[in-house]
């Protein structure tokens, strides 16, 4: 884990807490102990507990390692995949060039 935690807004902390809870539920559904997942992910049990609590000081790579152990690593690719706001902003900035009429 990093030495210093980033400062997050309460909404961001809730999102991380929900992610941690989802990871914990996935582990429990697979009937894996915290020790088993931590060992397979190459992390300490306390780091896994921090992940399951959504602690913001845990590196994103550790989250990905745990998701991999649970077979959920492809879920990671869904993050920021559908950038609706970005596409709208891009569309606003697009300049449509007018074409001259074709010569006959």
Angle of helix 45-52 versus helix 10-29 axis, rounded to 10: 120
Mean pLDDT, the chain, rounded, equals 89
Round to whole Å and give the CA distance between 24 and 48. Answer: 9
Q: Where are the domains of the chain?
A: 10-93
Domain 10-93 grouped into CATH 1.10.260.40: yes
pLDDT digits (tens, 9 = 90+) for 57-97: 999 999 999 999 999 999 888 888 888 888 888 888 766 66
Residue 54 CA: distances (Å) to CA of 17, 24, 47, 91:
4, 10, 10, 35
């Amino acid at each position: 884990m990093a030495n210093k935690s980033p400062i997050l807004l309460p909404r961001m902390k809730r999102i991380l807490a929900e992610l941690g809870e989802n990871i914990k539920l996935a582990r429990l559904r697979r009937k894996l102990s915290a020790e088993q997942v931590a060992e397979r992910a190459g992390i300490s049990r306390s780091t896994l507990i921090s992940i399951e609590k959504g602690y913001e000081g845990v590196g994103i790579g550790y989250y990905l390692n745990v998701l991999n152990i649970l077979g959920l690593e492809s879920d990671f690719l869904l993050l920021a995949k559908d950038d609706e706001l970005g596409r709208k902003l891009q569309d606003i900035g697009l300049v449509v060039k007018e074409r001259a009429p074709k010569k006959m």
